[in-house]
Amino acid sequence: MLLHRDMEEGLPGEVASLAASWLRSEAFESLVELNAQCLQLLAEQALTREGQGNLLLRQVADIWRALDSSARRRAAACPYLLVDAGFSDSSRWRWADGQHVNDGAPASYASFFTVPRAPGVARQVFIYAWHLARTQNAAARLLLGMPAHCTNLIGACTLPQIHELAERHPEWLKPRWPSRVKVWRELLLAAASGEGVALERARMHGLQLLAADSRAASMLLPGGPAVP
């Protein structure tokens, strides 16, 4: 199995080991459930007027609707979150004091999701990210693509602060890699086929992209890479 070897394709063995252990953990179930909601959200967004012109949404929705319950479970069972909320952007997670969000810091972004369910899913994503950052730092970096400095910032927030941020900035929620339609097709078609090697290869591709994104975000820090 690809996730149980010292990744010949460029993923460090330590990261691969952590991913494999998560695939066997009870905590992994929360990630699978959240991914299933995110995939359903993508399919719903594709039905809107805005979504019909988006190639990624059309591709995801067409394949998602064709999947049976077992295939949907396989698609959701990735060892990483299928959406992003700016987890590698430290400017979004800075706080002025211990009680309130710094009104001048977080910027607004155009909303990708406009359907009614989107704010509720965004809230769950924010809380899930906060919980991982506080309790399982390494897992947050792997599953969410968080560089170390963002993990520390998010983990230092209080639960009320995270709730407030989720209420004020649900527009931060985006599909991961929105321009990489091929990556999404690879995952969903592998889930549809149920072919084990293809599915693990698709998951591995996602882990490699997340690791690369995290490294790139760390390199943007003043003074060079973040200290792990």
pLDDT tens digits in sequence order for the chain, 228 residues long: 444 443 334 445 555 565 556 555 666 888 999 999 999 999 999 999 877 888 899 888 889 889 999 999 999 998 899 999 999 888 888 853 343 444 455 567 889 999 999 999 999 999 999 999 998 888 888 889 888 888 999 999 999 999 999 999 999 999 999 999 999 999 999 999 999 999 999 999 998 888 887 777 767 654 444 333
Query: Is residue 61 domain-resident?
Result: yes
**Is residue 226 domain-resident?**
no
8 Å CB contact between 62 and 184: no
Assigned domain for 111 exists: yes
Structural domain includes residue 228: no
CA pair distance 51, 45, nearest whole angstrom:
6
In whole angstroms, give the CA distance from residue 64 to residue 188.
Answer: 7
Q: Would you say residue 224 lies in a domain?
A: no
Helix axes 69-76, 181-193, angle to 10 degrees: 130
Number of structural domains (the chain) is 1
Q: Is residue 14 part of a domain?
A: yes
* 101 is a domain residue: yes
Residue type (1 letter), 5: R
Calpha distance 212→180 (Å, rounded):
14
pTM check: above 0.95: no
Q: Which domain holds residue 74?
A: 2-219
Residue by residue, DSSP assigns 41-63 as HHHHHTTSTTGGG-HHHHHHHHH
**Cα gap 207→211, rounded to integer Å:** 6
91 within a domain of the structure (yes/no): yes
